[in-house]
Amino acid sequence: MKQLIVLQTDFTFKEGAVAVMKGVIKCIDRDLEIIDLTHEIPQYDTYSASFRLRQVLPFYPTGTIFVSVVDPAVGSSRKACIAKTKSGHYIVTPDNLSLTHVDRYLGLLEVREIDKKWRYQSDYSSEVFHGRDVFAYVGALLASGQVAYEEFGKTYSDYQVLSYPFAQASSSKLSGILEIIDPNFGNVWTNIPTSYLDKLDLKHGDQIKVTITHGNKVVVSQILSAGSSFSTVPLNSPVLYFNELGYLALALNQNDYRAQFKVHFGPSWIITLEKNI
């Protein structure tokens, strides 16, 4: 059975790179269905690429092939790989931390290095466009069933993932990181599961002290309400809400929390939550 291909890059649609990758896929099999995850990953940002795979992958059928190309070290000694997840999905990607979130939250069964013999043959081979010559090509061969996953190369265990602490919960405080930002609306997602609110005996509408630090600097210190959605607070007011993946997130009702409070995301952005008594 032919499988879906889901594409993700930092290429944008401003030039032809994404269309070229789709052309290679269609040259392998015209009947393959291609879906765009996003092509607006910030330039070279393998962390964001990793998170977007984790966000989207669980909502696609088993067997779907994700081709993710955010590749600042293209042409170097970094590996090209295919990862098989515990859910039976596949990720074709440079081995450059892009597997971090899927490995952490969803789990990987194994990872195979793509042998160098698997290269798209054309008059335009390049060491700077592996999205075309390696990843789209391999993804299409796998999705069409022309080549089995096991044929692409040997398994290895030292694939690259970013290590950072899991969220913590006690009876007095929750802590975690600002894990990602919704780039369109400016909402800030944490890695703290909503179920952790039970540890603080918090309910909708309760007041919570929120502290965000970056390095030794306190960037945000505020009291806000816990709500199930943005509209539980007045317009332009901050709220701690429950996002669609089951984690706590911060927003300004119909405004941009990130811009208003000048926060970013990643393991160095620490958030703590305490019940305001």
Question: What residues contact 7, with CB distance under 8 A and at least 6 apart?
Answer: 18, 21, 22, 34, 35, 36, 37, 39, 67, 68, 69, 136
Q: How far is CA 100 from the centre of its chain?
A: 8
Residue 162 located in a structural domain? no
Can you give the pLDDT at residue 276? Answer: 74
Contact 24, 56 (CB under 8 A): no
Number of domains, the chain: 2
Contact 138, 7 (CB under 8 A): no
Regarding whether 136 and 14 lie in a shared domain, the answer is yes
What's the token pair of residue 132?
């075309």
Domain termination residue (choose one: 156, 178, 200): 156
Regarding whether 115 and 51 lie in a shared domain, the answer is yes
pLDDT tens by residue, 157-212: 999 999 998 999 998 899 999 999 999 999 999 999 999 988 888 776 778 899 99
Domain termination residue (choose one: 95, 130, 156): 156
Regarding whether 268 and 178 lie in a shared domain, the answer is yes
What's the token pair of residue 63?
């067997």
Q: Is the pLDDT of residue 245 over 80?
A: yes
pTM, entire model: 0.95
Regarding whether 127 and 238 lie in a shared domain, the answer is no
Domain termination residue (choose one: 134, 156, 178): 156
Q: Is the pLDDT of residue 277 over 70?
A: no
The torsion angle over the Cα atoms of residues 72, 74, 78 and 83, rounded to 10 degrees, is 90
Strands 5-9 and 65-69: parallel
Distance CA 151, CA 115 (A): 9
Regarding whether 258 and 149 lie in a shared domain, the answer is no
What is the SS3 assignment for 111? strand
CATH number of the CATH domain containing 18:
3.40.50.10790
Residue 80 located in a structural domain? yes
* Domain of residue 138, residue span: 5-156
CATH number of the CATH domain containing 207:
2.40.30.90
Q: What is the DSSP string of 114-174?
A: PPTT----STT--SS-HIIIIIIHHHHHHHHTSS-GGGG--EES-------PPPEE-SS-E
Among the ranges given (58-72, 97-111, 193-207, 259-273), the one the predictor scored with the smallest mean pLDDT: 193-207
pLDDT tens by residue, 14-66: 999 999 999 999 999 999 999 999 999 999 999 999 999 999 999 999 999 99
Residue 163 located in a structural domain? no
